[in-house]
Amino acid sequence: MSGLTIDQIAVGYNDFLIIDGLSVKIPEKKITTIIGQNGCGKSTLLKAISRLLKIKQGTVFLDGKEIHQLHTREIARKMAVLPQTAETPPGLTVFELVSYGRFPHQRGFRSLKKEDYHFINWAIEETGLSEYRDHPVESLSGGQRQRVWIAMALAQDSEILVLDEPTTYLDLAHQLDILLLLKKLNEQEGKTILMVLHDLNHASRFSDYLIAMKAGKIVTEGSPETVMTSDNLKTIFDINAILAECPFSNHPICLSYQLCKARS
């Protein structure tokens, strides 16, 4: 068993379960996006996978090993995680924060090696931050700071990227920049990418596989053509959607929609 496998996990906060008995296998070397309403358990699932939230029962397997039994550094070599909200330590420059992504590959307190500089500089360039590399992170806009965190995850050079709403705070052009970069990493370097997106059209256009959640359960999963149907969107989001075909990906997109019933 390789890659990420989730087996009958239950996750929640205190005594309140958000997810109960969920199982899913994340396709290897594909882009998988989790969609669903706010509060349905998307981010909770990612937190459980990345060990940011303790699992109450069940198991997450990483390359066939129970993830809670692995050392943090071992996990980080295989899986990079970008949480929904990340706090930047004060006083760090862009280069310094991105360099933290190389920590799993270092031993003790050794200085950066040539290979480390290669991945740091590559990640900064790929995320469009070259002119800000020596700027303090707190001096940047929200969108620029988001790109710094993405660059740190890229510098980690892990087989699996787990990203919770990676396009948050980004304008339309930079959203596309990041999603196209993730697509390139998947196609050219075989990265397995698991992410949460709120934009259905971005999720469909850039994904090979969709997982649709509602109330802590998986409603349906499969290709965008399988998941992005009018009936499924009615079940998942309580909307009547008009769909078309994306001219860039040939995947379904939502042209417009209305609520199935008025909300009080």
pTM over 0.85: yes
CA torsion, points 126, 129, 131, 132, in degrees to nearest 10? -150
Asked if residue 123 has pLDDT above 90, the reply is yes
Write down the residue that tokens 């990493």 correspond to: 185
Average pLDDT over residues 92-108: 86
pLDDT, mean of residues 46-56: 91
Residue 108 has pLDDT above 70, yes or no: no
Residue 110: is it exposed, middle or buried by C-beta count within 10 angstroms (0-12/13-18/19+)? exposed
Task: Express each pLDDT in 133-144 by its tens digit.
Answer: 999 999 998 888
Contact 161, 80 (CB under 8 A): yes
210 by Cβ neighbours in 10 Å (0-12 / 13-18 / 19+) ranks as buried
Q: What percent of the chain has pLDDT over 90?
A: 66
- Give the separation between CA 41 and CA 160, rounded to whole angstroms: 21
103 class by beta-carbon count within 10 Å (0-12 exposed, 13-18 middle, 19+ buried): middle
Give the model confidence (pLDDT) of 207-242 as tens digits.
999 999 999 999 999 999 999 999 999 999 999 999
**Average pLDDT for residues 68-86, to the nearest whole number?**
86
User: Beta strand pairing status for 79-82 and 160-164?
Assistant: parallel
Does the pLDDT value for residue 180 go beyond 60?
yes
- Mean pLDDT of the 116-140 span: 93
- Looking at residue 126, what is its pLDDT? 86
- Who has greater pLDDT, 194 or 149? 194
**Of 3-7, 166-170, 196-200, where does mean pLDDT reach its minimum?**
166-170
Q: How many residues does the chain have?
A: 264
- Pick 77 or 35 by higher pLDDT: 35
List domains and CATH numbers for the chain.
4-259 (3.40.50.300)
Q: Which of 159, 200, 158, 154 is nearest to 177 (CA)?
A: 154
- Per-chain mean pLDDT for the chain: 91
Residue 181 to residue 175: CA distance in whole angstroms: 10
Residues 6+ apart with CB under 8 A from 70: 62
Tell me, what's the pLDDT at 110?
66
**220 alpha carbon, distance to own chain's centre:** 19
